[in-house]
Structure 1
Amino acid sequence: MTAHDLGPRHLCRGILTHPLGLHCDVPTDQLLPDGSVRATRFLDGLARAVGHGATFFDTADSYGDGHSERVLGHFARQSPDFTLQLSSKVGQIRGSAEHPYAGRHIHHQLDQTLENLYAEELHLYTLDSFDFGPGDCYLGNAIDAMRTLRDVKAIRAIGMRGPFTHYAASREEWAAEAERFLYLFRLIKPDVVWTRFNAFTPAVSLEGQDLFTFTARHGVGLVLAAPLAHGVLVGKGTASSVPHEPPPPRHAGLMFSLRDRVDEQLRSLRSHFGDTPGTLARLALRSSLQRGDHCVVVAGFSTAGQVEENFSCLGDPLTELELSVVDDVYAGLRAHIQAATGHSPVRELQP
């Protein structure tokens, strides 16, 4: 990374963007305890991000059955002078179709997505599921549909989901996921891979390389989502921050038995790097941003304050020594997950 590493990056041909974008999954429960409307806070966060130079906004038709797309579209209508590079996904919503990838369903979903987003094209459209029906019977149709949409310039780039299963999966489960990804990758030939990536994500081996080297070798961009592990890596939901409150249900499987361990590891990072506001966010975001110049990171948020912290905390790149300290701490967390679930630590998985 250079001193200018936060300048625009080429995610892929046709997409030059700020390396830190937003993951836009707006909860559908509108009213907050103080009486404010959640979507209003979300819109404030979008405006704050644009003020910091953000251009890439990632969502999906399945987030609230289009609710997140509509909120982002509302922002686009209010902000016609802003350059918004919009990314969405397809493959989770079946509707009245036989399968999410059957017939013209991908075309229909894109039409609705563009209407929701108040847009004429998508910069990135991602196949959000590895399920292509029995015997992959809809795979060819999905590939043809996505390539046609790119040819007619309804989308600029084709994306596919990266290899991912639950964090505490066994070596065999991760290996099976990597093998499935490789099979689909060779057929789909995506422009971009969208994947969850943070301290808890085990390494996978793809043709003998990690995901970053593999995609760079193939000239494919990477969108890295959940870099803060839904706030866990900045202390949200850990034992010290909420001693009498259980973790949110969607993270309980990871966090309930690991909160003390996470607290211990976060304290070690604070002792090394300091405890000023934004330090832990900087380490988590930087460790993702510095994986490669073909990587764009999308961070989730619920308030403008979180957006402000994420964009303001980045500072200078981490040095090689600093990255090694962070990587060692994160590796300890992964090893603890594997030990807690009875699996041996995941290092390299041969597909």
Structure 2
Amino acid sequence: MEERVCGRSGQQLSTVGLGTWQLGGDWGEFREEDAPALLDAAVEAGVTFFDTADVYGDGRSERLIGAYLRARPDVRVTVATKMGRRVPQEPENYTLDNFRAWNDRSRTNLGSDTLDLVQLHCPPSEVIASDAVFDALDTLVAEKRVRGYGLSVETCDQALAAIARPGTVSVQIILNPFRLKPLERVLPAAEAAGVAIIARVPLASGLLSGRYTEQTVFAPEDHRTYNRHGEAFDQGETFSGVDYATGVEAAAEFARLAPEGASPAQTALRWIIQQPGVTTVIPGARNAEQVRANAEAAALPPLSDAVLQQIGELYDRRIRPQVHDRW
């Protein structure tokens, strides 16, 4: 699989990575004993980038990845984790002492003295504006706790503020055919600054797979049940902020745009991969078959100009009014 440079860090990341929120259990039940087979499938498919967070299953996702890598010392994978959402997202909590404590926990979970990439996990805008916060992040690098740092953000304005910081290696932002706003300013700014873009929620919480109907029922512990309207965290994290009924109808239209031989999900991933400035995309997967199908998107030919135009028109007609001005 093609690899791209992760911004200023120089690390090489596969164009399709693996998001591991599902290992924590917030996408319905996931058995710990199934993790090695899923991670093996990713590695065998050419994936060299895992993305996790200390809050996924309260550390369970990190621990499963750490155990896997200890059992497979031959595997070359860059692991990014995130920190900051195990406490209230209040600016006073983003201190060097807390960063060190959070980092210690993640290093223990992952079994690594120096973490490849640590990202602040969707912090408030006030945090991104704080010089002291970035001084603290620079200290983590100087202390060799982390090789580099980035930010996972909710809004384009937050992304632009993070990109402007000279130590920022990466920005993780929602980007998919139902979330086009980052194309306007964020991706060009990141490319100009040498900051990696990690595209998250690439399938709009599964909508873009085309598998769901209005009658689909998700498990109670699945965030697609309990956060549809932003009850637990930012609404944009679930179905990209699109109301479910609209999303299902738009996804059915999107599915009809898939080229021959490509699934709707692969088409969505291919669309992201070919956007200038994107470094990697991190779809989740619940089994080895999904992992392999996602990875295959990297080998698909670029989507035609006609398909790209149709995707833009679909977004303008059905999705833009709900999401474009919010994030």
The two structures have a TM-score, normalised by structure 2, of 0.81
Aligned equivalent of 1:200 = 178
Higher helix share: 2
1:282 equivalent to 2:266? Answer yes
Q: How many angstroms apart in 1 are the aligned matches of 2:284 and 2:247?
A: 20
Shift of 1:291: 1.1
Aligned equivalent of 1:20 = 16
Query: Deviation per CA, 1:38-76, whole angstroms, max 9, x where unpaired?
Result: 222233211101001111000111112111111111111
Shift of 1:324: 2.1
Which of these residues, 210, 234, 237, is aligned with residue 235 of structure 1?
A: 210
RMSD of Structure 2 on Structure 1 (CA): 3.5
Which of these residues, 70, 84, 96, is aligned with residue 63 of structure 2?
A: 70
Shift of 1:234: 0.7
Q: How many angstroms apart in 1 are the aligned matches of 2:104 and 2:219?
A: 42
Structure 1 window deviating more from structure 2 (246-255 vs 75-84): it is 246-255
1:273 equivalent to 2:258? Answer yes
Unpaired runs of at least 5, structure 2: 230-237
Q: How many angstroms apart in 1 are the aligned matches of 2:27 and 2:123?
A: 32
Shift of 1:185: 4.6
Which of these residues, 109, 113, 118, is aligned with residue 106 of structure 2?
A: 113
Aligned equivalent of 1:334 = 319
Aligned equivalent of 1:324 = 309
Q: How many angstroms apart in 1 are the aligned matches of 2:263 and 2:12?
A: 28
1:211 equivalent to 2:186? Answer yes
Q: How many angstroms apart in 1 are the aligned matches of 2:316 and 2:228?
A: 20
Q: How many residue pairs get matched?
A: 312
1:80 equivalent to 2:73? Answer yes
Shift of 1:329: 2.4
Q: How many angstroms apart in 1 are the aligned matches of 2:176 and 2:306?
A: 19
Q: How many angstroms apart in 1 are the aligned matches of 2:39 and 2:111?
A: 15
Unpaired runs of at least 5, structure 1: 1-5, 165-176, 339-344
Aligned equivalent of 2:35 = 42
Shift of 1:294: 4.4
Aligned equivalent of 2:282 = 298
Aligned equivalent of 1:170 = none
Shift of 1:84: 1.5
Q: What secondary structure is seen at the aligned counterpart in 1 of 2:177?
A: coil
Q: Contact (CA 8 Å) 1:56, 1:86: kept in 2 or not?
A: yes
Shift of 1:155: 1.8
Q: How many angstroms apart in 2 are the aligned matches of 1:154 and 1:109?
A: 11
Q: What secondary structure is seen at the aligned counterpart in 1 of 2:41?
A: helix
Shift of 1:199: 2.6
Q: How many angstroms apart in 2 are the aligned matches of 1:30 and 1:262?
A: 18
Distance 1:24 1:229, change over 3 A: same
Q: Contact (CA 8 Å) 1:11, 1:17: kept in 2 or not?
A: yes
Q: How many angstroms apart in 2 are the aligned matches of 1:237 and 1:333?
A: 17
Q: What secondary structure is seen at the aligned counterpart in 1 of 2:17?
A: strand
Query: Deviation per CA, 1:203-240, whole angstroms, max 9, x where unpaired?
Result: 159xxx5211111111111111110111111124333x
Q: How many angstroms apart in 2 are the aligned matches of 1:109 and 1:308?
A: 33
Aligned equivalent of 1:11 = 6
Matched to 1:252, the amino acid is: R
Distance 1:306 1:136, change over 3 A: closer
Q: How many angstroms apart in 1 are the aligned matches of 2:277 and 2:131?
A: 31
Q: How many angstroms apart in 1 are the aligned matches of 2:216 and 2:128?
A: 48
Aligned-residue identity in percent: 24
The two structures have a TM-score, normalised by structure 1, of 0.76
Matched ranges for 1:103-252 at <5 A = 103-131=96-124, 139-164=130-155, 178=157, 180-183=158-161, 185-187=163-165, 189-203=167-181, 209-239=184-214, 242=216, 248-250=224-226, 252=228
Matched to 1:332, the amino acid is: R
Query: Deviation per CA, 1:274-303, whole angstroms, max 9, x where unpaired?
Result: 676x51011110111111254211111111
Shift of 1:29: 8.1
